[in-house]
Amino acid sequence: MKILIIEDERQLSDNIAIYMMQQGYLCERASTYQTALNKVCVYDYDCILLDLTLPGGSGLDILQEIRRRNNPAGVIIISAKDSLDDRLKGLAIGADDYLPKPFHLSELAMRVYAIIRRRSIPANGSNTIVFGNLSIDIFQQSIRVEDQTALTLTHTEMELLLFLISNKERTVTRQAIAEHLFGEMSDVMDDFNFLYSHIKNLKNKLKTVQCDFEIQSVYGIGYRLKRI
């Protein structure tokens, strides 16, 4: 899976690249408008992370070029400009997602995972993810191992599981999880106790189906999906 990171802030693109490479993606970087445009025209990528303000031009123009060439790459706009106009414009031109800065790398990994997954949905429309010995039915919100009967998850548990899967073997903070599940609503809570019940339930359900991954708690600051 190949990702192109178009971002002029070198440090940020480095960090993104390191994190994504740890996740098993191949990463390339472009930090100016021109190099980005060249790469987009020459190579194929599964996913492109696109900053809008670039030296030499606007990211929206690159997006337009990508879509004009019928390039099927998934595009996620990462921008410090969290303006509604840009968001709508970007999505109208054909971006698949919009992630305002600053973000957690785990959140970015989740979005990339979701886009690549969506692009690989087979034509018959079945939407099943295979992860370890687990098959996850996104539509039915259920999980099962091999021939067992399926176990239904709640909406939140499903979201949580996908988030952990897209960051498998990584430590994700409770903050990142809370933000992913509840957005800005999570800001109010003085602690993350409200996450515990969801995590506990999901943990138990994974155990019940005898999944070969388990949710480990990391010193009470985060969680990690780890192969047993």
- Residue 45 sits in the site that holds another protein (CB under 8 A): no
Query: With respect to another protein, which residue has the nearer C-beta, 26 or 88?
Result: 88
- Residue 88 sits in the site that holds another protein (CB under 8 A): yes
- Residue 102 sits in the site that holds another protein (CB under 8 A): yes
Q: Which residue has the tokens 């785990």?
A: 106
199-216 in b/e form (b: 16+ CB < 10 A) is beebbebbeebebebebe
Is residue 38 a contact partner of residue 80, using CB atoms and an 8 Å limit?
no
- Pairwise CA distance, residues 72 & 83, whole Å: 26
- Residue 180 sits in the site that holds another protein (CB under 8 A): no
Q: Which residue has the tokens 């990584």?
A: 170
* Pick from 127, 45, 53, 61: nearest CA to 94: 61
- Residue 19 sits in the site that holds another protein (CB under 8 A): yes
Query: With respect to another protein, which residue has the nearer C-beta, 121 or 218?
Result: 218
- Residue 188 sits in the site that holds another protein (CB under 8 A): yes
Q: Facing residues of 219 across strands?
A: none
- Residue 218 sits in the site that holds another protein (CB under 8 A): yes
Chain residues in the site for another protein (CB under 8 A): 9, 11-12, 15-16, 18-19, 22, 80-85, 88, 100-106, 156, 170-171, 173, 175-176, 182, 184-190, 194, 198, 218-219, 221-222
